[in-house]
Amino acid sequence: MRSLRAAQTFRSLLSARPLHGAASPAAAAAAAGSRWCAPLVPPPRLPPPSPRVMPAGVAGAVSFSLTFATVAAAEAKAKERPPTDLLPQNVVLYQYQACPFCNKVRAFLDYHDIPYKVVEVNPLSKKEIKWSDYKKVPILTVDGEQLVDSSDIINILQRRIRPDDELTNEEEAKWRRWVDEHLVHMLSPNIYRTTSEALESFDYIAQHGNFSFTERFAVKYAGAAAMYMVSKKLKKKYNITDERASLYDAANTWVEALNGREFLDSSRWLEA
């Protein structure tokens, strides 16, 4: 239960803007780029995890990574579809399935019910984005125009589909920076915490990409090895001593900021 609550909380944290009165926790959590929100009943402060709460292997690769990519997104319902004349056309997202920044963009698109195609990028060869000078994901093309960087993508799309919305306020900007500069750095050390968890995560990525047998083998083993090393470097760089505790601390930081409210700034965003 604690891992599920944490996953719901993190999904809302990966959103970019507060919500216009979401009808359900899943809808609210999937609304990246709409309105900052939290589950309708904020979870209690989360204690440090125990082995029973976070079993090895599955917890690392599935609970923290795949939950973001599948569970909440699958349950999300669009609440703010743009006017037809402002709805983007021919939208293609180049992504890694387990990438938090890619999930931010997917959540925004899903929440606004913007149709799009997904191209899973080979993390080793990156052949799917050889046409671009930008060699990271996400990349979003909208009617042939390339947009890069998850926050910039959301900002640009938000202005296009909601041109009358006011600009990001100081409080919103602070929390978006916190997500990009703090929260996301807690994820890789948890997803790729051990070699078995790294392999489990990349096995999922390899199976869900349009890869040949040889490419799947290379992606799984070379990718897992690379990200396992990256996770250790991130731990050292950001002075993370306990991955799980740091992740729970991040969730608690958000829950405490809500202070029992359904929305971070409900006075501005709630509508009848």
Contacts of 173 (CB under 8 A, 6+ apart): none
Active site residue 99: yes
Q: 12 in helix, strand or coil?
A: helix
Please name which of 109, 77, 72, 107 lies closest in space to residue 90, comparing C-alpha atoms. Answer: 109
Options 101, 111, 192, 211, the catalytic residue: 101
Name the percent of the chain in helix, strand, coil, to the closest 5.
Answer: 55, 10, 40
Cβ atoms 16, 110 nearer than 8 A: no
Active site residue 10: no
Q: How far apart are CA 32 and CA 150, in angstroms?
A: 10
Options 10, 68, 94, 99, the catalytic residue: 99
What order do you get walking across the sheet with 117-120 strand by strand? 117-120, 91-95, 139-142, 145-148
Options 10, 64, 96, 204, the catalytic residue: 96
Q: How far apart are CA 123 and CA 251, in angstroms?
A: 29
Strands 117-120 and 139-142, sheet pairing: unpaired
Active site residue 217: no
Options 37, 64, 102, 204, the catalytic residue: 102
Annotated catalytic sites, by residue? 96, 99, 101-102
